[in-house]
């Protein structure tokens, strides 16, 4: 399975584009925490999707850009992230590379 993915917004006027690795969240406690945060933020319930997979994306590279480069000096901007291993509770344990 190819875990590489790109996430970006619909509009590109002030875009943030993230490249990374997708990973299915299988831990039931972590899935519950995601559902709770989602419900609080969007006032919508994910419980009807409880059997569906939930994915987390570990960023490798993130690009930020503004369509009109006069608004921001140094447009576009790129950030790189070091890969980390996560514990079952989602805490970083250190670099993998």
pLDDT tens-digit readout, 35-69: 899 999 999 888 777 788 889 999 999 998 887 65
Q: What is the mean pLDDT of residues 11-23?
A: 87
pLDDT at 13 over 90: no
Q: Give the 3-state secondary structure percentages of the chain, helix then strand then coil, rounded to 5.
A: 20, 40, 40
The residue among 22, 21, 18, 20 whose CA lies nearest residue 78 is 18
* Mean pLDDT over the full length of the chain: 80
Q: What is the pTM (predicted TM-score) of this model?
A: 0.65
Q: How far is CA 66 from CA 23, 72, 80, 85, in A?
A: 29, 7, 19, 32
Domain boundary assignment for the chain: 4-25+54-95
């Amino acid at each position: 399975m190819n875990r590489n993915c790109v996430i970006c917004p619909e509009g590109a006027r002030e875009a943030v584009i993230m490249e990374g690795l997708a990973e299915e969240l299988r831990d039931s406690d972590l899935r519950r925490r995601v559902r709770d945060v989602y419900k609080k933020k969007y006032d919508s319930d994910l419980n009807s999707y409880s059997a569906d997979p939930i994915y987390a994306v570990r960023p490798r590279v993130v690009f930020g850009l503004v369509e009109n480069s006069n608004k921001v000096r140094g447009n576009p901007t790129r950030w790189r992230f070091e890969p980390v291993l996560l514990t079952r509770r989602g805490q970083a344990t250190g670099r993998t590379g």
